[in-house]
Structures are given as structure tokens and as C-alpha cells.
Chains A and B, each alone.
Chain A
């Protein structure tokens, strides 16, 4: 069972009633699996802050609730997180937060354990699929016992690895009765002051109790060599040093300090083996315990057994990697973003970018996107540029943002542009889905996570309702239409929006009826068709072009690029 599927199963067995999330690698499959359990209400919320608040509401009402997100999603949800830390829970509440050491699909490598410490919320971490399922059930017990939300931190390697899992039955948990209690549930200064005292006491109590929690365990072995470790890093320790003594921590915040001290005093050489930040290490050092940590192991990137072997035994693998051309991710054949970027590139326009597949427009051969900060940032960064440099400066700039990202947090930024009398053009790349994470529905697709038809937010009318006069809709594959719209809208001294519409090429049923085929006797070998960088096209030795029929989606962008009619669309 995939780690993320095991988390969903654990939530099901724990009697969870409500789950909310926004998709983000490597957390997406949690909700995609949860939806298979009919006893649980689950939804895609527009962003992680909303998802977290939905879970808080369900908990206040007395039910067990959870929300899941990737690490950077917790930044968006951190406002409610810090408050719900004080408020605590009625029904148990768990946040599953997936870190991404090694940056497989993220914009940074932040460590959720640090946010757990900062927000004074307990953090637990499993080390395989079985533990992922067991720990989430335990997290709900902790949540209710200590009156606290609990974060279960996972990593890409855990969430996207499969291992054997023993299943158990769901235990229905009766809702806790709701009682109005403004001292606990309304965070005004007078109440929050008292709750802060409670929160500090709660952490102290949990740190003391940590020594007897089953998720923290000592595996005694050779006492010359000992490790304090957690999560997936524990597996690398077991792989390399099966005979060493290990303190495997399941509770990462607060740390069970007496257990750590008891373990450390028996060990001759103590290693702290933890991915990302030295969270355990710094606290162990602060206890006056000698250990080896980040001076031997990196803060950046993912850990491995070979890395541990190298430090402990000085052994390197006998084989060496060869120098080969890199294969970075690219936009798919038939991707509507490629067409939009081609039009922008031809007009020499810079784009303030955002988070999604379309961030790939930053690299060769498109090179259109200049910036990418975080979800929803494209619109506000463009706005900042205009306020710094004046409206003429942004006439050769646009902001590009996907439909799901626009509804996530971009919409606030667009409101800001209108309110603060901005000049600038926002291009919403509407591909009718959340593409990068593997096609999740959102508020404008007309379907819920649970598969029910629902009202689809109309992005055009949403923009119009903000008071934006010029909102233009154009097909993402219409080069002439795109060029006209971009020229006209960027020339204006006001806010304008271009909605570029074409479904993601990977959505079911989105193949065009035809495929593109080169006509070699008409080809002038100019290479114009190759410029958008479609992977279905390759240049032959004689300068003409081949198109791989199995890859070609039939979008016809290459045909539009060719001035000599040397590419035609033919039936599959």
C-alpha cells in the first residue's frame, strides 16, 4: 500500500468524519484515496487555509477531522494553525503535512517540524506505510487526550513508497457534544492569554509522557554505536547498521527528553540521523549531550543508506555515474501552455509566473517566465513591479496563472490590482483542472472531489464582478487570437484579464481528432516548427522534421508555426 493510501486507510479506521485538502505533491493521493471510503465527507478546498478551517469547524462541532497538504501548503494554513493550537479540539483533529526533501516537486525544502515547534503543535512522524496507518490513528488519540491539533509529518519518500499494511476495521467514534465555550473557542486577547499558559503546560506534559508513548522506542543493540532517528531515515539506519542501538522517535515535537537522556548515557558514539533541519540535534545538544549530526550529514536533499555508509565506513559505491545529457521535465505534447508561451515569446513579453506545470515556461526553449515565488504570487508581483517602476514598465509584462492557482490565492491579488488602480495584464491559463498534481477538480470545474456535479464558478464573470472592464476569452491554441489579445490588453492603462482556454492535454477525451504530419517536399528546413519545443518533433539529419505519431496530440501548434504549409493535419 502506498504511504499516502495507508494514511487514508488509517483515517478511515480512526473514524474520521470530515476531511479537507488542497492538492499538492506529495500529499495529493491522501484525499484521492479517502474519497473511496463512503463514511467520510471529503472535499477539495480552494486552498490550505480554507481546508484547515473546515477541519477546525468539524472538530469544534465534535467530529474527528483532518486536513492534508504539502509542506508549503502549511504556510498558507499557518494563520488558523497558530490559533487552533491555542483553541485545541473537541473532536480530534490531525493535519497531515508532506515535506519534500530533495525537491522532487516543490519550490523549497522547508521542514514542517520547525513550524510544529513555532506553533507549539505536536508533530509525529511514521517511517513506513504500516506506521503511516497506525500513527494517524494514534494521532487522533493524542489530539483528544491533550486537547490539541496534531501534525503528522511525512516526506515524499514515505508517501510515495509502497509497503505491506495490515488492515483493521473502522471504529465509529460518536461525536463529542458541542458546548458553547468562548474562553476556549474565541481567541480575543483576554482568552488567548490564558490559553497560552495552557499550551505551554500541554507541551511540558506531552514531553514527560513521551517516554512511555509506544511511538518512541529504543531498540538496544551494540552500545558502542547509537542513533537517534525518525521517519524514513530510520530505514537507512536499519539497512546499514542492523546491530546498532537505535532510539526511534515517533514524537518529534515536543521531544521526549528523559528518554533521550536515558538512551544517550548508554551510548559511546551517538549519531543524530534526521533529514532536513537539525531539529532533534539542536535540542539534544542543548541538553548537554555530545553527538554527531549535521557536521557529517547534509541539511539539503534526501538521505540514503549509501550516504550513511560513506560517513560510517568511508565506503563509496564501486560504480560511477556517466556524464549524460539531463532530461528535465517538459510540457507535454499538445499542452495548451506551450501555445500561449509561444505567442508571448514571439511578442518578447516577460511573464511573472506562478506554481503549476506552466512554471516550466521559465526554461529553454520557451524562456518566457521570469519569476515564480509561491501559489498566487504572479499577479501581486506584477503589481509590485508596476508600483515600483510605473505603468509603462509593465507594458511588456504579463502575469500568468493557472485556473486552480487563481482560485487558490490569485483572486485576492487581482482584487488588489483593481482596488489600488493598477496597470497590468493577467493571463489566466484555464485548462479546466489542477494539472501538475494529476487532475483534481476545483471550484470552477463543476464537480466535487466526491464526484458530485456542482455549480462551477465562472472565472470570466468573477473577474468582471471585480470591476475589470476588459476581460477577454481566447482559445489557447489560436495563435492569431492570442497575439491580438496580448497586444491590445498590454497596451491599456488599466487592469485587464485574458482567459486562455483549452483543457489539459492529459485530461480524458482531450485528444484532437487528427495528428500532425510533415510534408517533406514543402519543407524549407527553417526550424520554425521546432521552436515551441514539442517533444513529438525531431529534426532529421537533412534539416527536415519527423513527428512521432504515438506522441503527437494533434494540437496543430507546429502547423500554425509553419509558413510553408509543410505540416498537415491528417486522420489518426
Chain B
């Protein structure tokens, strides 16, 4: 099988690391060779962050490059736009329909682009969800990332049961139930 490429992008602090670990876990459990690459340090402080997950029979490089991603999971609209060109021509783009202003927008030095999702839909298969609102409805704003992951999981080759098992093994024990519920919310969206 050809190596598959997944990217998770977002704003530092949104929980891309946990999401990528769940992704890595499911591929490992399915018997693939997996490589993950993540960002630590200064870039985590509210900056643009990106995590790469690659799986297949034998994976060499740990990063996903421009024009190579099968699935791009974006936790924020502007970050979806920033990294959309990493997708293959027919790639799947999962977007959390949330806006977080970067500092140049806050200070008035730049404008937040309008109609991001509409414009991206012209070139890619885009699936969006307002996971923030859905998570608040569930009573825990933090689990929005797992809702987004659930939506992404619909476009990947693993069963719901496989996902739930890996979530159970990966997230902190106290948060297993809420994370499973969040995943199902996204998966059935």
C-alpha cells in the first residue's frame, strides 16, 4: 500500500498533540508502520502549529509535504487556509468552523480573510463543523478537538469500534466517557 498522509493544524494549545496520538495509536493497532512529527516549544504559545501523521508498510520521512496530504484536519478556519495547499488535488479537508484572530489581525495590521470555507470548497472536499458550540452543548469546551476527529474519522478506513478503543487507551482515564461521546458526536454528524 502507498503511504497515507494526514495533517493536523491549529493554534497552539488546541490539543493537536492528543489528536495526533490517537491517530498514531489507531494506525499502530491496525499493524501499520507509523511516523508522527510534532511541534514543541515556542511555537506552542498560541502560534500556528502543525502535526504530521504518516502510515503504511514502511514509512521513511516523518513529515507531510505540499501537495501530499490525503486528509487535512484544521482546528481553525485561517489555519485551514494556510495549509490547504498541503492537500492532494482530491484531498479531504475537515474544518472546525471557528475563528481565532492572530495578533496581526488583533493589532489591525492584517484582516481576517472572509468566506474561507466557501472558497476552499471550490478546490477540495470540505467538511466543516462548529465543534466549539457542539462541545459547549456537551458541557466541556475542551473536547471540541475530538468532535473534529470524529468527523475526520468518517473519511478514513477504520471502524467506529477501533477508534473508541484507541481513545480509551490514549486519553486520561477520567475523561474517557466525555471523549468517547465527543467522538461519536463528530462521527455521526
We find that the number of chain B residues with CB closer than 8 angstroms to chain A is 54
* B residues near A533, Cβ cutoff 8 Å: 103, 106-107
Interface residues of A in 420-441 (CB under 8 A from B): 436-438
With A105-B41, A235-B60, A332-B46 as known contacts, state yes or no: A162 contacts B35, CB within 8 Å. yes
Contact call B60/A239, Cβ cutoff below 8 A: yes
Q: Which of B61-69, B158-166, B172-180 contacts A (4 or more CB under 8 A)?
A: B61-69
> How far, in whole Å, are A317 and B109 apart by their CA atoms in the complex?
30
Contact call A327/B11, Cβ cutoff below 8 A: yes
Binary CB contact string for chain B from 83 to 108 against chain A (1 if under 8 A, 0 otherwise): 01111010000000000111111110
Interface residues of A in 514-555 (CB under 8 A from B): 530, 533, 535, 537-539, 550
* A residues near B34, Cβ cutoff 8 Å: 162-164
Shortest CB–CB separation between residue A312 and chain B, in angstroms?
Answer: 15
Contact call B106/A104, Cβ cutoff below 8 A: no
Contact call B40/A105, Cβ cutoff below 8 A: yes
* A181: Cβ under 8 A from any B Cβ: no
> How far, in whole Å, are A539 and B36 apart by their CA atoms in the complex?
38
> How far, in whole Å, are A438 and B105 apart by their CA atoms in the complex?
27
* A320: Cβ under 8 A from any B Cβ: yes
Shortest CB–CB separation between residue A240 and chain B, in angstroms?
Answer: 9
Contact call A306/B65, Cβ cutoff below 8 A: yes
Q: Tell which of B68, B82, B113 has the most Cβ of chain A within 10 Å.
A: B82
Contact call A328/B103, Cβ cutoff below 8 A: yes
> How far, in whole Å, are A325 and B110 apart by their CA atoms in the complex?
6
Contact call A324/B82, Cβ cutoff below 8 A: yes
* B residues near A157, Cβ cutoff 8 Å: 37, 62-63
Shortest CB–CB separation between residue B76 and chain A, in angstroms?
Answer: 9
* A residues near B104, Cβ cutoff 8 Å: 325-326, 328, 364
Binary CB contact string for chain A from 350 to 378 against chain B (1 if under 8 A, 0 otherwise): 00000001001001110000000000000
> How far, in whole Å, are A530 and B101 apart by their CA atoms in the complex?
13
Shortest CB–CB separation between residue A516 and chain B, in angstroms?
Answer: 16
With A161-B36, A162-B36 as known contacts, state yes or no: A324 contacts B13, CB within 8 Å. no
The residue in chain B whose Cβ has the minimal distance to the Cβ of A321 is B85
> How far, in whole Å, are A320 and B89 apart by their CA atoms in the complex?
11
> How far, in whole Å, are A277 and B57 apart by their CA atoms in the complex?
33
* A residues near B86, Cβ cutoff 8 Å: 319
Binary CB contact string for chain A from 21 to 34 against chain B (1 if under 8 A, 0 otherwise): 00001101100000
Interface residues of A in 279-338 (CB under 8 A from B): 304-306, 317-322, 324-332
* A residues near B45, Cβ cutoff 8 Å: 329-332, 357, 360, 436
* A271: Cβ under 8 A from any B Cβ: no
* B38: Cβ under 8 A from any A Cβ: yes
With A325-B105, A326-B102 as known contacts, state yes or no: A317 contacts B65, CB within 8 Å. yes
Query: Main SS of the interface on chain A?
Result: loop
Contact call B60/A329, Cβ cutoff below 8 A: no
In-complex Cβ contact of A330 among B28, B33, B46 (8 A): B46
Contact call A318/B84, Cβ cutoff below 8 A: no
* B residues near A438, Cβ cutoff 8 Å: 40-41
* A238: Cβ under 8 A from any B Cβ: yes
* B residues near A329, Cβ cutoff 8 Å: 12, 42-47
With A317-B65, A319-B85, A326-B104 as known contacts, state yes or no: A437 contacts B35, CB within 8 Å. no
* A160: Cβ under 8 A from any B Cβ: yes
> How far, in whole Å, are A328 and B28 apart by their CA atoms in the complex?
33
* B residues near A364, Cβ cutoff 8 Å: 103-104, 107, 109
With A238-B60, A327-B78, A364-B107 as known contacts, state yes or no: A319 contacts B46, CB within 8 Å. no
Binary CB contact string for chain B from 119 to 147 against chain A (1 if under 8 A, 0 otherwise): 00000000000001000000001000000
Name 21 A/B residue pairs within 8 A (Cβ), A-sorted: A25-B40, A105-B40, A162-B35, A232-B61, A238-B60, A304-B61, A304-B65, A319-B66, A324-B78, A325-B105, A325-B112, A327-B78, A327-B103, A328-B103, A329-B45, A332-B45, A357-B42, A360-B45, A530-B106, A535-B46, A535-B103
The 8 closest A-B pairs by CB, nearest first: A105-B41, A25-B41, A317-B67, A329-B47, A325-B110, A317-B66, A327-B102, A319-B85
State the B residues within 8 Å of A (CB).
11-13, 24, 28, 33-48, 59-63, 65-68, 78-79, 81-82, 84-87, 89, 100-107, 109-113, 132, 141
State the A residues within 8 Å of B (CB).
25-26, 28-29, 104-105, 128, 157, 160-164, 232, 235-236, 238-239, 304-306, 317-322, 324-332, 357, 360, 363-365, 436-438, 530, 533, 535, 537-539, 550
